[in-house]
Amino acid sequence: MARKISDTRRWGFTILAWGVAFLIFFPILWTILTSFKSEADAIASPPKFLFFDWTTQNYAEVQSRSPYFRHFMNSVIISVGSTLLGLLIAIPAAWSMAFQPAKRTKDLLMWMLSTKMMPAAGVLIPMYLLFRSWGLLDTRFGITVVLMLINLPIITWMLYTYFREIPSEILEAARMDGASLKNEILHVLTPMAVPGIASTLLLNVILAWNEAFWTLNLTTSKAAPLTTFIASYSSPEGLFYAKLSAASTMAIAPILILGWFSQKQLVRGLTFGAVK
């Protein structure tokens, strides 16, 4: 836009936008600030915004009360594991749907997406009972497989839209150049698809990290990721604002940072390429 914008207009929008953005961000900021307060400062009235005795005591206490690090590792293993597993299954499927589309490919994709719409409540009981009889309750393996399954449609869709943007002539060129299917995937398709695969991976790690139906219902302690760990603070004995904030900050920090870095890819991925 080559139009000239007056400085007053620009400053007006700047102030308005910063104000609104600050309000939206405030709960997170407040949580982070509170995590550095003493419990007394945390519930002080009037509230203390910046001028309090900064302390990292809460972080130490959270760790000693419940092994934060173990839950953190559970979250990492479950979210990354389920995403990688999903990619392993979805990449070949998306590849063939993008490059060898059949008449029913569109319907197949629609059907996959529709499985996402099945309410978790409809299958909670059998899953719970099956998990119980297979001894999978509260195991990392069990919850990883479930999260892989619930995110598989999204992974497949995202990859499909990314793959479709790779011109099929390039793959034909590789075939003419004598590349076997293995080499075609290894040397041509994969390098070209890496950006798309990476953003699919990121988004699904975020979704799996924050998933809070199956993790809450199928894990309790040993395999519990951070979602379950944090939920344990909802009981009255956990009502210490500073410690709650410290635990929360630790639970959201990794994904918040990851998310900020990948917000561009995120939009494209989440809309299945429907919004450019």
Partner 1 sequence: MGSITLKQVRKSFGDVEVIPGVDLEIHDGEFVVFVGPSGCGKSTLLRLIAGLEDVTSGQIVIDGQDVTQAAPAKRKLAMVFQSYALYPHMSVRKNIAFPLKMAGMPADEQERRVQHAAGILNLTDYLDRRPGQLSGGQRQRVAIGRAIVREPSAFLFDEPLSNLDAALRVNMRVEISELHKKLATTMVYVTHDQVEAMTMADKIVVLRAGRVEQVGSPLELYRKPANRFVAGFIGSPNMNFIEGEAAARMGAHAIGVRPEHFVMSTTEGAFAGTVGVAEHLGSDTFLHIELDGGTPIVARAAGEFPVDHGDRIWLTPQEGRVYRFDKNGLAL
Partner 2 sequence: MATRHQKTLARLMVAPSVLLLLGWMIVPLAMTLWFSFQSYNLLSPGMEQFIGWTNYKYFLSDPAFWTAMQNTLLLVGGVLVITVGGGILLALLLDQPMFGQGVVRIMVIAPFFIMPTVSALVWKNMFMNPVNGLFAWLAKAVGAQPIDFLAQYPLMSIILIVAWQWLPFATLILLTALQSLDSEQMEAAEMDGAGTWAKFTHLILPHLSRAITVVILIETIFLLSVFAEILVTTNGGPGYQSTNLTYLVYSQALLQFDVGGASAGGIIAVILANIVAIFLMRMIGKTLE
Instruction: Pick out residues in 68-107 that bind partner 1 (CB under 8 A).
Output: none
Tell whether residue 188 is a contact of partner 1 (CB under 8 A). yes
CA-to-CA dists, residue 115 to 66, 119, 219, 232, 247, angstroms:
36, 9, 23, 30, 34
Q: 3-state DSSP call for residue 3? A: coil
Q: Which of 124, 166, 192, 198 binds partner 2 (CB under 8 A)?
A: 124
Binding residues with partner 2: total (CB under 8 A)? 97
- CA 43-46-49 angle, to 5 degrees, is 80
191 binds, among partner 2, partner 1, none (CB under 5 to 8 A by kind): partner 1
Residue 100 as a binder of partner 2 (CB under 8 A): the answer is yes
Contact status: 169 vs partner 1 (CB under 8 A) = yes
Work out what residue 67 binds among partner 1, partner 2, none; the CB cut-off runs from 5 to 8 Å by kind. none
Give the one residue of 106, 116, 187, 222 binding partner 1; rule: CB under 8 A.
187
Tracing tokens 């206490």 back to the chain, one arrives at 61
Which residues between 51 and 70 bind partner 2 (CB under 8 A)?
Answer: none
Cα distance between residue 259 and residue 255, in whole Å = 6
Please state, in angstroms and as integers, the Cα–Cα distance from residue 206 to each residue in 37, 39, 54, 82, 250, following that order: 28, 31, 30, 11, 15
| Closest C-alpha among 133, 158, 123, 138 to residue 262 | 158
Residues 229-258 within binding reach of partner 2 (CB under 8 A): 230-231, 233-234, 239, 241, 244-245, 248, 251-252, 255-256, 258
125 binds partner 2 (CB under 8 A): yes
